A = this chain, B = another copy of it.
Amino acid sequence: MKIGIIGAGAVGSILARELNKLPENEFQLTVMARTARNGFTVLEDGIKIFHDIPVHDILSVKDTFDVLFIATKTPALLTLKETIKNMTHGNSEIIYALNGVGYDDMFVQGIPSVVYVSGQQHDEYIEHFVNQKIILPDQSFTYLDRLIQIIENDESIHFDLVKDKHFEQVRYEKLLINVGINSVTALSKNTAKIFEDDSMVRLTRTLLKESIDIVNKNSQTVYISPDFIDYAMEMYMSYPREMGTSMYYDVMANRTTEYQYIQGFVYNLKTDDHPPTPVLDTVVTLLSGYEKL
């Protein structure tokens, strides 16, 4: 089975580190990114380890993959469309290991996933905070089922690749978690410490409430309980005060963000007759202004 991973940021590196332990006779792993290198360094629990897993320049790879994880920033999907088409076949399983929602139709072989890997990309290494988990929809797969089986039974591989019966629910919950904390950290250019202030907690709760109402009114498959707001806020307040979010790190580095697939996706679910959502509108407009060239 030929497995490809596109992207050697936090998600791609952690996934590569674990899948590299698969038996070589059955699995061939290729890690790809914009620039080739001999491997990558992961900082975890205070220890930096270099993993000599080669990262290939994606444009130099001529292979065809049975399983392909796309672990890039979401906006890169569009740029990579042709490249990915050329490295897959009709039965390939292309896993979107991406933030946000709204790109499922990019490839007919595309499979959505919910990724839980908290990390930060530094210049010289990847810092891994918590979680190494990818959740998939509960369906049969040609290749992934075998991969899931092996990972489950190989105690040396520390990665949860699992199916979830309530996949859509899990997906929207992750999306809403991101809408809340990514918005306020990116726009205030500050870390989880901002939740120490009541006004920020109130603002984030309002943003979550507006977003949940949109999801509940417009999704056929998902219902988010109002209690989810408490759950999300407790999660945010449990984070280390200096911990940022992917969108915070993007803004601090003056990089493009994934807002179109996170806040923008929820915003675009709205129907014309939806009640006012002034906080979400403000957030989306400011994040859109940030991108303007």
Report yes or no: B292 in contact with A194, Cβ–Cβ below 8 A.
yes
Which of B189, B279, B288 interacts with A278 by CB under 8 Å? B279
Q: Which of A243-293 contact B (CB under 8 A)?
A: 251, 254, 278-279, 281-290, 292
| CB nearest to A196 among chain B residues | B292
| CB nearest to A277 among chain B residues | B278
Report yes or no: B286 in contact with A187, Cβ–Cβ below 8 A.
yes
A2 is an interface residue with CB less than 8 A from chain B: no
- Residue with the greatest number of chain B CB neighbours at <10 A, chosen from A194, A197, A282, A283: A282
Measured CB to CB, the closest approach of chain B to A282, in angstroms, equals: 5
- Residue with the greatest number of chain B CB neighbours at <10 A, chosen from A188, A254, A286: A286
In this complex, the interface size class of chain A, counting residues with CB under 8 Å from chain B, is 20 to 34
Contacts of A254 in B (CB 8 A): 189
| CB nearest to A191 among chain B residues | B292
Which of B202, B206, B281, B292 interacts with A203 by CB under 8 Å? B281
Which of B190, B196, B279, B286 interacts with A188 by CB under 8 Å? B286
Given contacts A281-B203, A282-B279, A282-B282, contact A289 B197 (CB under 8 A): yes
Measured CB to CB, the closest approach of chain B to A16, in angstroms, equals: 33
B-facing mask of A195-212, CB < 8 A → 1, else 0?
011011011001000000
A232 is an interface residue with CB less than 8 A from chain B: no
A184 is an interface residue with CB less than 8 A from chain B: yes
Q: Which of A15-57 contact B (CB under 8 A)?
A: none
Given contacts A184-B286, A282-B278, contact A292 B197 (CB under 8 A): yes
Identical copies in the complex: 2
Which of B187, B202, B203, B288 interacts with A197 by CB under 8 Å? B288
Contacts of A187 in B (CB 8 A): 187, 286, 289
A174 is an interface residue with CB less than 8 A from chain B: no
A193 is an interface residue with CB less than 8 A from chain B: yes
A residues near B (Cβ < 8 Å) are 184, 187-190, 193-194, 196-197, 199-200, 202-203, 206, 251, 254, 278-279, 281-290, 292
* Subset of 17 A-B contacts with CB under 8 Å: A184-B286, A184-B289, A187-B187, A188-B286, A188-B288, A189-B251, A190-B292, A196-B292, A199-B281, A199-B285, A200-B285, A200-B288, A202-B285, A203-B282, A203-B285, A203-B286, A206-B278
